[in-house]
């Protein structure tokens, strides 16, 4: 975070007008939506793209030769093309469309990791991970007699990179790290981590759920083996996301789900499967959702990530400064490089009580463990309050948030 970062000329009011939900009131108060790390709001262009699909093009994909089927297939596969360009994939065929990061990581766990694991092997992750980047590895490790190791962080919420490298021992068959922490906002040095993993011949999976909404991602430049992300955190509908993987990995992986669309030919004496990525996409997909995800990608590119990132960094610096004015407030996660997420507690107040009272003031923030129990255990707290900001948020909303926080704090003291 850099307090000197200034937002470029950005027509915030025009942008906010693109998001219908931001205009509503909550408990008679103007909504201040600071729960973007949980899920983002959706611009009208995404909503309209989905509506138009159902009104004009609704049909199943890859199954019919009639015009509607062709239109639906083109729209669905068009979303894959947009996403491939968005993250600079080497080929559209390296992108498996999924319901989100959780499905993407489970696909790697069961189709890539499990067949390669044996007793005594290990998977390396970190203390700051979301449960989706912990639990699947525990499940497959238990089946194989392997273990899951976690690299430590420091009090500032930064990965102790040297310890991560020390833990890349010969028994580690896969390393997993979040690009951006959903609780701390910490940005991990993925390129550096990927470089050290390659030296040791260890594949690296990156959870990109909290990175893609805030910064440009180039999977080829990062040098990782797998990159998973979720649509609903980046302006798109729920039930959308993708797994990017190197071609050689996808070709070596058996299917995880079986059924329609992922086959070439089915016979009772044996089935042959489609080529990647389709061999991992069994059944009818969330077609309209991916139409919406394609529209979300278009929207991001119309603004540009330089503009988005500068505005969010300005908001992060301003919100951090304002929150430090609140007596007894402790911020968790003060990494040198972080995205616009602030987790905190106030002495003498429960996170859930604060969030409940803030909601009555029209402020939407998240309270709880944020699907990161090991991180809460590291800080020895049961929960935190999290304010997560997006490019459509404003300084005025930060002021309203802090004023409401001061008010509800007094009610609880």
Task: Please give the positions annotated as active site.
Answer: 371
**H or E segment at 71?**
helix 67-86
What is the length of the chain? Answer: 413
Tell me how far apart the alpha carbons of residues 100 and 241 are, in angstroms, rounded to a whole number: 4
DSSP string, 304-355: -HHHHHHHHHHHHHHHHHHHTTSTTEEEE---SSB-SEEEEEETT--HHHHH
Residue 111: CA count within 13 A, CB half-sphere: 22
Tell me how far apart the alpha carbons of residues 284 and 71 are, in angstroms, rounded to a whole number: 15
Burial per residue of 215-224, b for 16 or more beta-carbon CB atoms within 10 angstroms, e otherwise: bbbebeebbb
Picking from 395, 382, 330, 386, the residue whose alpha carbon sits closest to that of residue 354 is 386
**Which tokens is 202 given?**
């260890």
Burial per residue of 1-35, b for 16 or more beta-carbon CB atoms within 10 angstroms, e otherwise: beeeeebeebeeeebbebbeebeeeeeeeebbbbb
CA 361 from chain center: how many Å? 28
Tell me how far apart the alpha carbons of residues 389 and 40 are, in angstroms, rounded to a whole number: 9
* Beta pairing, strands 270-273 & 32-33: unpaired
């Amino acid at each position: 975070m850099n307090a000197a970062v200034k937002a470029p000329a950005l027509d915030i009011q025009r942008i906010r007008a693109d998001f219908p939900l931001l205009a509503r009131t909550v408990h008679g108060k103007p909504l201040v939506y600071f729960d973007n790390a949980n899920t983002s709001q959706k611009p009208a262009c995404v909503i309209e793209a989905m509506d138009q699909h159902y009104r004009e093009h609704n049909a199943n994909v890859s199954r019919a030769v009639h015009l509607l089927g062709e239109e639906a297939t083109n729209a669905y596969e068009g979303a894959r093309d947009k996403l491939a360009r968005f993250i600079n994939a080497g080929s559209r065929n390296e992108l498996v469309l999924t319901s989100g990061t959780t499905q993407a990581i489970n696909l790697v766990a069961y189709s890539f990791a499990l067949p390669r694991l044996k007793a005594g092997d290990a998977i390396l992750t970190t203390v700051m991970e979301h449960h989706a980047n912990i639990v699947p590895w525990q499940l497959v490790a238990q089946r194989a007699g392997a273990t899951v190791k976690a690299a430590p962080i420091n009090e500032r919420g930064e990965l102790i990179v040297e310890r991560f490298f020390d833990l890349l021992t010969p028994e580690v068959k896969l390393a997993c790290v979040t690009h951006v922490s959903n609780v701390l906002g910490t940005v991990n040095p993925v390129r550096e981590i990927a470089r050290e993993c390659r030296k040791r011949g260890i594949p690296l999976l990156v959870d990109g759920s909290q990175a893609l909404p805030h910064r440009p991602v180039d999977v080829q430049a990062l040098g990782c083996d797998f990159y998973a992300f979720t649509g609903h955190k980046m302006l798109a509908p729920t039930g959308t996301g993708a797994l990017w993987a190197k071609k050689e990995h996808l070709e070596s992986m058996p299917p995880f789900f079986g059924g329609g669309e992922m086959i070439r030919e089915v016979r009772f004496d044996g089935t042959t499967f489609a080529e990647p990525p389709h061999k991992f996409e069994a059944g009818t997909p969330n077609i309209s959702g991916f139409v919406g995800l394609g529209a979300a990608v278009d929207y991001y590119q119309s603004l540009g990530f330089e503009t988005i990132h500068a505005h969010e960094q300005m908001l992060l610096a301003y919100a951090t400064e304002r929150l430090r004015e609140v007596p007894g407030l402790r911020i968790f996660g003060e990494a040198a490089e972080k995205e616009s997420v602030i987790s905190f507690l106030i002495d003498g107040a429960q996170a859930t009580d604060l969030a409940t009272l803030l909601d009555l003031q029209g402020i939407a923030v998240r309270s709880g463990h944020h699907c990161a129990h090991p991180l809460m255990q590291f800080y020895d707290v049961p929960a935190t309050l999290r304010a997560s900001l997006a490019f459509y948020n404003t300084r005025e909303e930060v002021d309203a948030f802090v004023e409401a926080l001061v008010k509800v704090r007094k009610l609880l003291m």
